[in-house]
Amino acid sequence: MKAVTTIFDIDPARLRFTARTAIAACLALAIGTLIGLDHPQWAAMTVWITALPTRGQRLERSFARVLGTIVGALAGVGLMVLTGNDPLGIIIGLTIWLGLCAGTGNLLTGPASYTSLLTGYSAAMVALLGYGHDTSIWMLAIDRMATACLGAAVGTIVALVFSPKPQSVDLSRRVKTIMQICLDHVATGEGDGNERSRLILEIAALDESLDIVSAGSLGTRRKARDIRSLLSALSELLLDTRSPREEDAGEPLAANGDQDDLSKRLREMAANLETDFPHRAAHLRAMIPLWQRANRTAAAIGPVSERPVPQHRDWIGARYAALRSMSAVATTGLVWIATGWQLGPYMVMGAAIMTSVFSTFPNPGLQMRWVVAGAAGGVCAAVLSHLVIMPMAGSVMEAALLIMPFTLVGMLPMAHRRVGLAGMDYNLIYLLMMNPHVPANPEPGHVLLQAFGVMLGPVTAYLAFVALPMDTGKRLDFVIRLMVHELTSMAKGAFDKPERYRHWRMRIYHRLVMLVRWSEKSGSGGGFAISGGMGALQLGNSLYAIRCMMTESMIDAQSKRALRATLLSIAHLSRKPERVVHAFTKAAEKLQATYPQDAARLTETAALVAANQDFFRRAG
């Protein structure tokens, strides 16, 4: 067995996982057929869709699947009722609904994101499959909800019974270790940018792993905010560029130090910096309760933070996703209406599903190539089954059993190291076309036309991703663009209130994590993101300080004009960052005689902007 998996580049551990999933899918298909569901293959599709490596992730995905299906099915029914089963009304309604759900799904994360996406295309499935059929639309919606519940239940039970126990994760040690290393870096006064980048990468990796560790428990997921609060504070400490590190800020702590040791060390470092650097001393003292809560949470999932860390929301990517889904559904829908093609709903449904599901993937355009290949394989298997195998069935249960061999075959491509994504779509497209019923004597022309209609969905979705491309580089640009947009708003006074300014500072550290993640995946390197993030943070701090200075009555008119020029220059940050550098340099010269500390801040800001001009230009 080992030799076979090596030759065919199949991951043995993943093969065991996909084999369990394939068996569960067949079991869900059999149960759905026995209890008389109209579309039992949807239950098998749910098993494949909710298949995730860990039990907690599967539980979350199953719950999201059921919730999203119920809401989406009700939305589909409502759309049919409101439009009076008119195809133009259905397409208009689905275009708006899919755009809303796809956009929202790209703003949210985790199970909430998947629920939103599923809500969109579930409505499309109910409305499109219900069009032109005598079956009650309510019965179709109930059938859709029942199959989702059945598939989620069967898949979860099989996973809980047969999946290996998850390996324990020493989260407490990871949190403590990253805390100690960061404090060592600050205490020893190291200015190594590569080391700082490595630490930020460690923080980003730990932040990402929190979603896996807390999967399956809403309470645990909420409590993970404690750790994220500490990670945000550590990021702020690493990026604090306003003052140099002090060599006597504290000796490196032994690796086996406990909570009291780290709390004591934070107090000692704060005391050493209090006289010369009160800003940093205050920050270190504020980290003490964050560390204590995070340590308890990591060790035993302790108390919940009162305030969650503000999260990055990809508003630009969400608009792209909404526009892409709307365009694909509208285009295929108009083709269906114009031609009156009986199988047109399959084409629209495929476009709706694919543009929604893959909109949150890092490189959906590249991955859609595998999707189209897998869909082609699924269509071929379905055509072969319809024309050759299904006519042998003498009962509905026999028809379901005859569907299963090609379903079991689907575990092999899914276990392949390179074509796993194609394997998933092979399974889903095959099952989408395979509704067990008798007598099964389809006309070859009808089967081929149905296959053509189903294939048009993934192809249209692929073309939509080509027309509105998305990859890790663009996602990096979107984060930078949002940061620059906030800096522009800050220059105009949108963050003048202290609470708004604090909210911005907290959110920029989460955006830094996103910057590092996408920068690494796009090949730009973590150093590019760290340096640019430092520049954006320092620029924001300076803008807030300038806005505060502008309200002071004692500042002279000449200085006010210079400061006003710096605020106006931010409008050119993404196109001509050198103008920002020039404006801050000139303002520093004007303030040097009367406000030397503020002049030093502006000079430092000008230097950081000058060093990161390529970073800010990516927002243009």
pLDDT digits (tens, 9 = 90+) for 151-209: 888 988 887 777 666 555 566 677 777 777 777 776 665 555 667 777 877 877 777 77
Burial 57-69 (b: 16+ CB within 10 A, else e): bbbbbbbbbbbbb
- pLDDT value of position 4: 46
231 has a pLDDT exceeding 60 = yes
416: which strand partners?
10
pLDDT digits (tens, 9 = 90+) for 280-330: 677 677 777 766 655 554 443 333 344 455 677 888 889 999 999 999 999
- pLDDT band at 374; cut points 50, 70, 90: very high
Percent of the chain scoring above 70 in pLDDT: 82
Please give the average per-residue pLDDT across 231-250, as a whole number.
54
Number of neighbouring beta carbons within 10 Å of residue 245: 16
| 216 half-sphere exposure, CB direction, 13 A CA radius | 14
Number of residues in the chain: 620
- Give yes or no for a contact between 437 and 400, defined as CB atoms under 8 angstroms apart: no
- pLDDT band at 214; cut points 50, 70, 90: low
Percent of the chain scoring above 90 in pLDDT: 28
CA gap 91, 330 in Å, rounded? 6
251 has a pLDDT exceeding 50 = no
- pLDDT value of position 538: 87
Please give the average per-residue pLDDT across 113-119, as a whole number.
89
CA gap 174, 581 in Å, rounded? 40
284 contacts: CB under 8 Å, gap ≥ 6? 237, 266, 267, 269, 270, 273
- pLDDT value of position 588: 92
**How far from 107 is each of 148, 316, 317, 518, CA to CA, in Å?**
25, 9, 8, 16
- pLDDT value of position 57: 67
3-state class of 492 per DSSP?
coil
Question: Alpha helix locations (H) across 131-192?
Answer: 137-162, 171-187
- pLDDT value of position 198: 77
| 564 half-sphere exposure, CB direction, 13 A CA radius | 8
pLDDT digits (tens, 9 = 90+) for 375-433: 999 999 999 999 999 988 889 999 999 999 999 998 888 888 777 778 888 998 999 88
The radius of gyration computed from the CA coordinates of the chain, to the nearest angstrom, equals 28
10: which strand partners?
416
Please give the average per-residue pLDDT across 129-141, as a whole number.
73
3-state class of 80 per DSSP?
helix
271 has a pLDDT exceeding 90 = no
599 has a pLDDT exceeding 50 = yes
DSSP code at position 245: P
pLDDT digits (tens, 9 = 90+) for 59-97: 777 778 788 888 988 998 899 888 888 899 999 999 999
- Give yes or no for a contact between 354 and 378, defined as CB atoms under 8 angstroms apart: no
- pLDDT band at 255; cut points 50, 70, 90: very low
- pLDDT band at 213; cut points 50, 70, 90: low
- pLDDT value of position 127: 87
The sign of the CA dihedral 362, 375, 457, 124 is: negative
- pLDDT value of position 134: 54
**Burial level of 603, CB count in 10 A (0-12/13-18/19+)?**
middle
Q: C-alpha 195: how far from its chain's center? A: 27
- pLDDT band at 503; cut points 50, 70, 90: confident
Q: What is the DSSP string of 10-44?
A: B-HHHHHHHHHHHHHHHHHHHHHHHTT-S-THHHH
- pLDDT value of position 258: 45
Burial 551-587 (b: 16+ CB within 10 A, else e): eeeebeeebeebbebbbebbebbbebbebbbbbbbbb
Please give the average per-residue pLDDT across 598-610, as a whole number.
90
**Burial level of 596, CB count in 10 A (0-12/13-18/19+)?**
exposed
Tell me the two tokens of residue 581: 């550098």
Q: The whole model's pTM is what?
A: 0.75
- Give yes or no for a contact between 487 and 536, defined as CB atoms under 8 angstroms apart: yes
